[in-house]
A and B are shown apart, each in its own frame.
Chain A
Amino acid sequence: MAFRTEPITVNFGPQHPSTHGVFRMRVTFDGEVIVDMEPVFGYLHRGSEKLAEERTYTQVITLTDRLDYVASMSNNLAYVLAVEKLCGINPPERAQYIRVIMAELVRIASHLMGLGFLLNDLGAFATPLMYMFREREKIMDLFEMVCGARITFSYMRIGGVAEDLPPEFYPAMTRFLKEMPGYIDEYEALLRENEILLARTKNVGILQPDKAINGSVSGPNLRGSGVPWDLRRADPYEIYDRFEFDLPLGKVGDTYDRFLVRLEEMRQSVRILNQAMEQIPKGPVRASVPMLVRPPIGDAYAHVEAPKGELGFYVVSDNSIAPYRCKIRSPSFINLTVLRDMVLGWKLADMIVIFGSLDVNMGEVDR
Chain B
Amino acid sequence: MYGIGIAKGMLVTIKHLFRRTFTVQYPEERLKVYPRYRGQEFVWYEERCTGCATCAKYCPLGIIKIVTHPVGNPAEGFDYYVDVFDIEIARCMFCGLCVEACPYDALFMGTHYEMASYTRQKLVINVDQLKKAKKQPSAFMRPHLLDVKYEEDTSLTPERAGRMWQGRWAGGEKPAPQAPKTEE
Contact = CB atoms under 8 A, between A and B. Distances in A.
Contacts of B140: 147-148, 163
B8 interface: yes
Contacts of A164: 143, 170-171
Interface in A33-87: 55, 58-59, 61-63, 65
A235 interface: no
B13 interface: yes
A55 B97 CA distance: 13
Contact of B141 (A59, A141, A162, A197): A162
Interface string A106-144: 000000000000000000000100010010010001001
A149 B183 contact: no
A168 interface: yes
Contacts of B9: 189-191, 193-194
B34 A145 contact: yes
B104 to A, nearest CB: 15
Contact of B36 (A62, A146, A195, A285): A146
B138 to A, nearest CB: 7
B97 A284 contact: no
A55 B61 CA distance: 9
Interface stretch (B75-83, B123-131, B156-164, B172-180): B172-180
A151 B184 CA distance: 33
B11 interface: yes
A191 B12 CA distance: 9
A58 B183 CA distance: 14
Given A195-B6, A283-B173, A284-B169, A148 B100 contact: no
A163 B60 contact: no
Interface size class of A (residues with CB under 8 A): 35 or more
Contacts of A285: 170-171
A62 B12 contact: no
Nearest to B168: A286
B22 interface: yes
Q: DSSP class of B's interface residues: helix, strand, loop or mixed?
A: loop
Nearest to B32: A141
A137 B97 CA distance: 25
A186 interface: yes
B8 to A, nearest CB: 5
B146 interface: yes
Contact of B171 (A192, A195, A284): A284
A197 B8 CA distance: 13
Interface string A282-304: 11111010111010000000000
B67 interface: no
A154 B94 CA distance: 9
Residue picked from B6, B58, B95, B143, most chain A C-beta under 10 Å: B95
Given A137-B22, A148-B140, A286-B170, A189 B180 contact: no
5 contacts: A62-B95, A148-B109, A166-B36, A284-B171, A291-B101
Interface of A: 55, 58-59, 61-63, 65, 94, 127, 131, 134, 137, 141, 144-149, 152, 154, 162-164, 166-168, 186, 189-198, 282-286, 288, 290-292, 294, 321
